[in-house]
Structure 1
Amino acid sequence: MKRICILISAILLCFSATFAYSQEWPFDEPLPAEEKAVLDEAKTLREQGKYDELKKTLDYFENNPESVYAKKEKVFMSQGTEVPSEVQDGIKLYAEGKYKKSLQVLSKFLKKNPGNLAALSARAVTLATENPGEAIKECDRLMYYLPKYTQLYMAKGVAFRNLGKNEEAVKCFSAYIAFTPDSLIYKHRASTYCDLGRYDEALKDYTESIRLGEKSVEPYLNRGIVYCVLCDYDKAEADFEYYIKAGGKNTYVYKGLSILNINRDNYEKSLEYADTLVKLSPKSAESYYTRGGSYFYLENYKKALEDFDEAIKLNKKFSSAYSGRSITHQKLGNIKNAIADSEKAIKYASDVMDACEAYRAQGLAWLSAKQKENAVSSFEKALQYAYSDSKKQEIQELIQQAQDL
């Protein structure tokens, strides 16, 4: 959620330079039947995700600049770039995380000025965070008349992400890209692909974001993490090193370097990076979870438990930490605790990777308890969420071990 809010705040703060100023909503009067039919068709194509056809359909208005709709849209979208102070106040409140107050300010302004595009856009984005369901309805209403206005696709996509409907979010971000491909939206779609476990597609989008000139260095960090997941450790390391040299401040890079070295069987080096992460972010659950993983592979299970305990203390819904603590309990022969922690890991799983590792941990606990049917069942569920070819192969081997009991 924090990642999404930071990104959208950056977009909202650009309103004063990019969005039109208009007081009246220009589409209250009925449009000619032929023009309404075009908008109806555009709505259907948008809902079907047929963006190339959608663009061709909307060319009708480009080819008929004297149509009623084309004239209204042109005037609406080109009346200057001034943003009223009240709207600026609403945007500032959003950037500060004061979403309810932002909505109050923007909604009050829109009652008197229903056609102000900056206010309409800001309200849609704020709703995406505060009331995602309402945001989707609002975006759909506006999209009917403004089907090429990409900020609405962004707001609707964010709303779907906040509802956990990542497939729908991808469709919205893809629509944005169809009209205006830019580095920011590729980065946003890439993070959604990661939540879906579609890492090959995420990799392509992060690379495209970099190619299009994304000003921040964050895509290098994010792409490095994806390379880690896909077991391309040399490229991951190159991205992490570039990120650090370029002045990247996100300490998460040290988690990436720690995990990278675990996969290279360089556990001492992994621990060094994890220690650095804890020193830089001592109040982060991720820091202790990462170091717990290093201790686990060094077979220092006591230290691993201590760090997983601390991670869970800091974040009681941290699925990965429960998975880590579960497999540590399993190594120590504490099967009852291992099963209990795996159940919590499953409960709090928020993405494909979480789910895979949670069911894997549960399967390992049942395997240690020589509960063949339960182990096979858990591993088969883990296989459904396998997020890479190497993980799929690992889970298949575990299924075979369980079947051989």
Structure 2
Amino acid sequence: MAEAEVPKDDQKIKDALAEKALGNEAYKNKEFDKAIEHYNKAMELNPDEMSFLTNRSAVKFEMNDLDGAIADCEEVIKQNKERGLHTDFKIIARAHARIGNAFVKKGELSNAIEAYEKSLLEAHDDKVYTSLRDTKKRKAEEEERAYMNPEKSQDERKAGNEFFKSGKYPEAIQKYTEAIRRNPEDPAPYSNRAAAYMKLGEFPFALKDCEKCLELDPKYTKAYSRKGSIHFFMKEYHKSLEAYKTAMEMDPGNPDLRMDYQRVMATVQQTANSDEVDEEQVKKAMADPEIQKILSDPGVTQVLKEMSEKPEYAQKALEDPVMADKIKKLIAAGVVRVASR
């Protein structure tokens, strides 16, 4: 019995798939020219199958023919739309994603982002989502680097200083912020912005700027001085004293620093001798990890117990410099009070 004859169109489809398989094998072996030949033959046999074209784009991508890879993928998208081929949406998504990959290699990140977003509209793919996220991050970083300019940073800072002198603190903050964007490694605008925040009573923001300033330049005396003032206004007197003390060590001949230090000491003494307890100050101090650590010290606990039972014992306990420093911090923080005599 004779074999049934295969319809001509069906045979072409089978032959096209065979060429695709040969192309895939050549691609795996990095025989790229040979792979393209097979994919071309497959497309001649079955021009309605868009996967042949996306496969060819992959070869061109590996050959660093990025424009060729993009053109093939764009042709897939165009043919599917204009001819109503109803190509599997995953193949269309893959075409958009490969366009994105090619644009990344070309350094055209905005085009890559657009392509990745179109791919995800067709079909969700974790790898494409990651590529989109990473490309957006890279684009933002490149834009930030391109925006940096130390000279313009200085101009913005000077403009901020003028606003500050005129009492226009929000405007000064805008200029200092711009100065930071232009040169984020310069400690000066952080310190300047902290001063402006202080004028507006925004102490947490001011403190954050001081700490960033000191991270960039640990010897920035003015930042320590401002840090001392911020902690004073926040009633964190133990931290205020520590900041002023550090500033004085850096600039021992500065009379203003000594005066500010003495002001904090006087406030601590007044608070410690007062009959009124500042509940907010104590609550904040008790949440401070440094204060918590001191209070968890068994030696400190014993000294505090004996001081409460025998006030005259306080002087003896403070003869130990390490213990004295801990007790003084607790007094400055408002956690320990000294009985009036």
Q: Per the shorter chain, which TM-score range?
A: 0.3 to 0.5
The structure showing larger relative contact order (alpha-carbon pairs under 8 Å, at least 6 residues apart) is 1
TM-score by length of 2: 0.35
Looking at CA atoms only, which structure, 1 or 2, has the larger radius of gyration? 2
